[in-house]
Amino acid sequence: MRKHEIVNQFSRVFGDGSTLQVKQKYIEPKTLAVICKSYIQSKLPKQFLNAAFATFRYPSEYQEWVSSSPFGTECKVDGTRLPQYWYTKPKLIHSDSDSRYLLDFLDPEHLLTNIRTKVCTTGINKVGIKREAWIQVAKYGKQNGSNLSLALVEHLLDKQNVAFAIKTFSEEVEIAMKNAGYHTDANFCGLIRNWYRAQDEPGLSCYERHLYEQSLRQWLLEDVRFEIFPPPGRYVKDIPIVLYEGLLIHIDRRSQLYAFTNGAYNARSIGTLDIENLFGAFQDWDAKGTGVLRADEVPEAMLTACDLYNTRLNEARDHVFDQPERKHANPKRKKGTISSLGEPSKGIKSVREERYKLNESKILPHVRAGINLEDLKM
């Protein structure tokens, strides 16, 4: 018997007979979906739930991403069937007058030097590329014909030096690795070298450049599944995510540019250093070759630089830079070697510059501030 029923009984026997009216509360049973949701949330970790939800949403989100891309899967470089799918799409920048696509990517020289730093410090161990391969080749650089110095590998002399990076992945180094039994490292060495050749070497057709780039792209995407969650974090295949995505975005952008230029452009003229490219064209116009102009020369220099850009980006099917005649038999390149013990050291300063020229950085901070350490001891 409930409380209000007991009170009503007492009221009828000992009171005035009045009763209490209590509203009946009807508790609606929970639906099966609510019960299942509550059970799952209490029993399963959030990381698992997030991964399951992302896996469920991935197909529809991916299709929406593909449909919004200006490049379809049928967009290929002439004569090739690659890529099978795009890793990235360009940004669409809206303005008051029109909308344009922004094809942004990292400069190939920066990517090349970063790859050199990676393999010479920790290697890419998850895919079998070890730092030891370059160290062993460098130890016997004179005997195996690679001329790779230990200073470039163990000490990473001048990390941002492109010539040293080219030497690290040269054909001689690749051959020396194969002879020493480092076949996986040698194959990677060839992939990086050919990829950079596609960015910088004249005389290669756009078909050859595209195949060299796609070879590295296929290696980067091999055994990597983006539909499995949680996705990779700071590293993908033991490669830093910034470097990994930088390489993939760079390769995709290079391929996508062919659609905007009717199949040809100067591969060397495209980069993230647009301002340096523009002002570098001043050197082609300046008779002194310095690129340092007077104020009255700037308008004409700007006109000339723009004309040079139009020539580099002309829409001819066979670009001048891609023609075999453009290739030099003995191109001038900076040597990626270290001077021998008996030769003058590169970058050395003269005696007068080292010992007699003013250099305030050599003055100790407390001396520049006028602080006497002897007084502080007292």
Between 14 and 141, the higher pLDDT residue: 141
CB of 349 closer than 8 Å to CB of 159: no
Query: What is the rounded average pLDDT for all residues in the chain?
Result: 83
pLDDT of residue 257: 85
Q: Give the tens place of pLDDT for each residue, 272-306.
A: 555 566 666 666 666 666 667 778 877 877 777 77
Instruction: State the Cα–Cα distance between residues 125 and 354, nearest whole angstrom.
Output: 43
Of 28-42, 163-177, 230-244, the least confident: 28-42
Hey, what amino acid is at 102? L
pLDDT of residue 317: 47
Give the residue-averaged pLDDT of 214-243. 93
Hey, what amino acid is at 308? L
Q: Which two tokens stand for residue 187?
A: 């194959």
Residue 92: what are its φ and ψ, rounded to 5°?
-100, 115
Residue 145 has pLDDT above 50, yes or no: yes
Domain boundaries, the chain: 1-68, 86-260
Of 43-52, 243-252, 322-331, the least confident: 322-331
Instruction: State the Cα–Cα distance between residues 149 and 115, nearest whole angstrom.
Output: 17
pLDDT range class, residue 271, cuts 50, 70, 90: low
Give the residue-averaged pLDDT of 250-256. 90
pLDDT of residue 6: 84
Give the residue-averaged pLDDT of 240-269. 86
**Residue 129: Cβ-neighbour burial (10 angstroms; 0-12, 13-18, 19+):** buried
Query: For residue 250, which of 117, 88, 113, 114 has the smallest C-alpha distance?
Result: 88
CB of 157 closer than 8 Å to CB of 164: yes
> Which range has highest mean pLDDT (39-53, 185-199, 248-262, 299-313)?
185-199
Q: Give the tens place of pLDDT for each residue, 16-56.
A: 888 877 777 777 888 999 998 888 888 888 888 899 999 99
Residue 102: what are its φ and ψ, rounded to 5°?
-110, 110
Give the residue-averaged pLDDT of 202-213. 89
Other beta carbons within 10 angstroms of residue 198's beta carbon come to: 22
Q: What is the pTM of this model?
A: 0.72
Instruction: State the Cα–Cα distance between residues 81 and 83, nearest whole angstrom.
Output: 6
Contacts (Cβ under 8 Å, ≥6 apart) of 226: none
Between 367 and 61, the higher pLDDT residue: 61
Give the residue-averaged pLDDT of 190-197. 96
Whether omega for the bond prior to residue 230 falls within 30 degrees of 0, making it cis, is yes
Residue 333 has pLDDT above 70, yes or no: no
Instruction: State the Cα–Cα distance between residues 257 and 102, nearest whole angstrom.
Output: 11
pLDDT over 70 for what percent of the chain? 84
pLDDT of residue 311: 66
CB of 101 closer than 8 Å to CB of 88: no
Whether omega for the bond prior to residue 331 falls within 30 degrees of 0, making it cis, is no
> Which range has highest mean pLDDT (130-134, 276-280, 336-340)?
130-134
Of 119-133, 148-162, 179-193, 323-337, the least confident: 323-337
Of 104-118, 155-169, 234-248, 341-355, the least confident: 341-355
